[in-house]
Amino acid sequence: MADQSVHVLVVEDEQEIRELMALHLLRQGFRVTECTSAEEALNEMAKNNFQLFVLDWMLPGLSGVDIVEKIKAINRKSPVLMVTAKTEPQDIVMGLEKGADDFLSKPFNPAVFIARVKALVRRAEVGLATAGKPDDEVLVAGLRVNFKSYDISYNNEALHLTPSEFKLLGALVQNLGVVLTREQLIENIQGEGINVVGRTIDTHVFGLRKKLGEWGDRIETIRGVGYRVKMDSV
């Protein structure tokens, strides 16, 4: 059962879908506020503090993606789940670049919807718990990445990565559960004397998966967009 302190803002103009989302969230113990438009959502944000936002993309007036940046400007740490029929790679990239944390396509399975919500809340809680602590080291399911010494190990066995592989894996584990586009990963790896293109990223990921063994299965390909490290199942 979810913590009642987690307040979710659901923004969806289709009543049946909005009420379905709210029902399942309430059953899980979340507090829920429902809105039918982006403008109404912005008014609610001025009055309440929300820990999670569920946004439809195609809304009357301002679209859901139009207000992601506004949400992040006000409440940077609260995750945004876009629930939408717009699932072309360019749409997903646009939403991610605006600040969305995850996507769920319509029509959706309610169990998957709740699993995505819980994963985003859990990730946000982890972020809050570690706020203010140095990011010198990250531990994810037995994989230990030390950004100060550049050491990496899995189940206490040292692994040997190239500098580019280390940067790529570092970006993914520091953004656990977040989809990083190839362009974002290129920016992370690009450096003096290093020319990186989208296919280079794919090659690095292939090499990483091979070196990481079973842990490499956590690196998920988001077709046409990029990669993310999957969080543990709920």
Give me the CATH number covering residue 44. Answer: 3.40.50.2300
- Per-residue confidence (pLDDT) for residue 34, from 0 to 100: 94
- Determine which of 8-17, 34-43, 84-93, 183-192 has the lowest per-residue pLDDT on average: 183-192
Structure-block tokens of residue 65: 């993606």
Same domain? For 212 and 150 the reply is yes
Task: Read off the amino acid at residue 8.
Answer: V
pTM: 0.58
Last residue of a domain, one of 112, 129, 146: 129
d(CA 169, CA 191) in angstroms, rounded, equals 16
The parent domain of residue 97 ranges over 7-129
Q: How confident is the model at residue 128 (pLDDT cuts 50, 70, 90)?
A: very low
Is the pLDDT score of 146 beyond 80?
yes
- 13-18 CB contacts, 8 Å cutoff, 24+ apart: 13/37, 13/56, 13/59, 13/60, 14/56, 17/56, 17/83, 17/106
Last residue of a domain, one of 65, 98, 129: 129
CATH number for 223: 1.10.10.10
Looking at the structure of the chain, the number of domains it has is 2
Distances (CA, A) of 233 to 112, 116, 120, 200: 11, 10, 12, 30
What's the Rg (C-alpha) of the chain? 19
